[in-house]
């Protein structure tokens, strides 16, 4: 009998092992999170990545130094590929199986999770809130409660331009919309594509709409849109902005094939650094992106950076910014008490520390910490970083990228319809009515 029971036990062990393996496989990297790891002192964390980068290393180092200084608290860090992340987190959330600490861009998607009760509130003013620039927490604030903490640098949008082209034709970068239009005419007469636009990706075109509505109607226009107010799209500033965009198109401001050019690969960047196009409206990641494909162009001082021009008679402040204020991490409400404690410690003691801000700067990012201004000295791109940081610091309004801030239901329809605006195959009036009805049905 002893033999058989031993054999049976062995088989049971195998069975359990197989079951465990299957469970692990099924949960993927989320194993040990949520309800699975109820008694463990380990929190799990998902961070979005586009590939190996110094920023990833900075987070890895932060986690290991946190674990050293906090005995018994462990964080399992997983990097999730950017493209698949939105789907992956949506599925994990829907299944109540999210990691303890999850990456988010804030805005409308995070709001969906908050409304579904999946996100842990961090209170109206957590102890670390004062370590960050006030404008940086708007994207994770909902009904007066804060739900996330910045985990990576700020990404405002500027015009990036080829200085060589501008000096060749004795141009300075225009500060007004009319100036921009005449610069475009000059560049065009010399056979240079004035603006490089990667509208094959659709989101680059959105940056024009964001800035134009701000310059024309001020920051409240976007706030109303993002709050999904009824008929917010009917604001005359939106129509004017759409008309201005179509005027740019009609003036031949964009390169041939702008609606099939992509940002990645030999896309819109290559047009600028190869001298085929003069400028591009893009997030500040463009500096790193061009540095990666044509280092000497950046280090040789050929890459100019300028704010979006003003519009005469417009209500917006010329220092207003648009872009991604930062990206964040938040805590899953389904995590255990132990896991939440670890996560809150990690937020208060690690993510908001000056050491992490320093590591971010070293990784080429511009952190949104209050005291970061002095950290850029000696960095290779210090001049860009300092300008970006001070413009974020002094911006009266920093509107969050609409495609992130709005609910996915509205954002996607907005992007496809805006692409049609750029192709002149849709009128501003039709765009407005489509978006109004989509916003009404999506809420």
Which lies closer to another protein via its Cβ, residue 42 or residue 433?
433
Which lies closer to another protein via its Cβ, residue 125 or residue 437?
437
> What gap in Å lies between CA 172 and CA 258, rounded to an integer?
24
Q: Residues 49, 43, 365, CA angle at the centre, nearest 5°?
A: 30
Helix (H) or strand (E) holding 49: strand 42-49
Which lies closer to another protein via its Cβ, residue 221 or residue 414?
414
Which lies closer to another protein via its Cβ, residue 177 or residue 203?
203
> What gap in Å lies between CA 183 and CA 19, rounded to an integer?
67
To another protein, the closest distance from the beta carbon of 71 in angstroms equals 36
> Which residues in 11-31 are b (16+ Cβ under 10 Å) and which e?
eeeeeeeeeeeeeeeebebbb
To another protein, the closest distance from the beta carbon of 190 in angstroms equals 17
Which lies closer to another protein via its Cβ, residue 54 or residue 96?
96
Chain residues that interact with another protein, rule: CB under 8 A: 86-87, 90-91, 93-94, 112-113, 116-118, 200, 202, 255-261, 265-266, 270-271, 276, 408-409, 411-413, 416, 419-420, 423, 425-426, 442
Q: Please, are residues 42 and 76 in contact by the beta-carbon 8 Å criterion? A: yes
Tokens matching residue 377: 């000295």
To another protein, the closest distance from the beta carbon of 16 in angstroms equals 24
> What gap in Å lies between CA 341 and CA 170, rounded to an integer?
60
> What gap in Å lies between CA 231 and CA 310, rounded to an integer?
26
To another protein, the closest distance from the beta carbon of 268 in angstroms equals 9
> What gap in Å lies between CA 429 and CA 410, rounded to an integer?
17
Which lies closer to another protein via its Cβ, residue 113 or residue 173?
113
> What gap in Å lies between CA 273 and CA 296, rounded to an integer?
10
Tokens matching residue 308: 């979006």
Which lies closer to another protein via its Cβ, residue 216 or residue 248?
248
To another protein, the closest distance from the beta carbon of 411 in angstroms equals 8
Q: Which residue has the tokens 């490089």?
A: 196
To another protein, the closest distance from the beta carbon of 333 in angstroms equals 12
74-81 and 42-49 as β-strands: parallel, antiparallel, unpaired?
A: parallel
To another protein, the closest distance from the beta carbon of 146 in angstroms equals 21
Which lies closer to another protein via its Cβ, residue 7 or residue 116?
116
To another protein, the closest distance from the beta carbon of 266 in angstroms equals 5
> What gap in Å lies between CA 384 and CA 284, rounded to an integer?
9
């Amino acid at each position: 009998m002893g033999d058989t029971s031993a054999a049976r036990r062995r088989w049971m062990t195998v069975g359990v092992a197989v079951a465990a393996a299957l469970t692990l496989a099924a949960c993927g990297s989320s194993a040990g999170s949520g309800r699975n790891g109820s008694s463990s002192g380990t929190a799990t964390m998902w961070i979005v990545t586009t590939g190996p980068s110094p920023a990833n290393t900075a987070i890895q180092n932060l986690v290991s130094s946190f674990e050293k200084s906090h005995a018994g608290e462990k964080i399992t860090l997983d990097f999730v590929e950017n493209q698949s992340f939105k789907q992956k987190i949506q599925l994990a959330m829907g299944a109540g199986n999210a990691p303890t600490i999850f990456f988010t861009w804030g805005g409308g998607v995070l709001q969906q999770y908050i409304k579904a009760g999946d996100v842990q509130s961090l209170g109206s003013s957590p102890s670390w809130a004062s370590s960050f620039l006030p404008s940086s927490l708007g994207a994770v604030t909902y009904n007066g409660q804060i739900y996330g903490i910045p985990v990576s640098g700020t990404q405002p949008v500027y015009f990036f331009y080829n200085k060589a082209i501008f000096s060749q034709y004795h141009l300075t970068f225009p500060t007004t919309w009319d100036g921009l239009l005449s610069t475009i005419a000059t560049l065009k007469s010399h056979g240079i594509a004035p603006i490089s636009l990667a509208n094959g990706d659709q989101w680059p075109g959105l940056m024009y709409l964001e800035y134009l509505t701000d310059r024309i109607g001020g920051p409240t226009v976007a706030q109303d849109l993002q709050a999904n107010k009824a008929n917010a799209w009917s604001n005359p500033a939106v129509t004017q902005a759409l008309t201005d965009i179509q005027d740019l198109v009609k003036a031949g401001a964009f390169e041939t094939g702008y609606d099939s050019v992509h940002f990645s690969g030999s896309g819109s960047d290559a047009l600028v650094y190869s001298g085929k196009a003069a400028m591009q409206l893009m997030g500040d990641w463009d500096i790193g992106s061009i540095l990666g494909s044509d280092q000497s162009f950046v280090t040789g001082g050929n890459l100019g950076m300028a704010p979006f021009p003003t519009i005469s008679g417009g209500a917006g402040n010329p220092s207003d910014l648009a872009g991604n204020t930062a990206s964040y991490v938040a805590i899953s409400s389904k995590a255990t008490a132990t896991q939440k404690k670890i996560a809150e410690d990690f937020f208060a003691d690690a993510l908001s520390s000056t050491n992490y801000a320093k590591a971010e700067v070293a990784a080429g990012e511009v952190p949104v910490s209050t005291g970061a201004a002095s950290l850029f000295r000696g960095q290779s791109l210090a001049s860009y970083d300092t300008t970006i940081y001070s413009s974020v610091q002094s911006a009266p309004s920093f509107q969050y990228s609409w495609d992130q801030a709005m609910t996915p239901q509205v954002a996607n329809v907005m992007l496809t319809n805006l692409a049609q605006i750029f192709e002149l195959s849709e009128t501003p009036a039709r765009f407005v009515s489509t978006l109004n009805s989509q916003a009404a049905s999506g809420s």
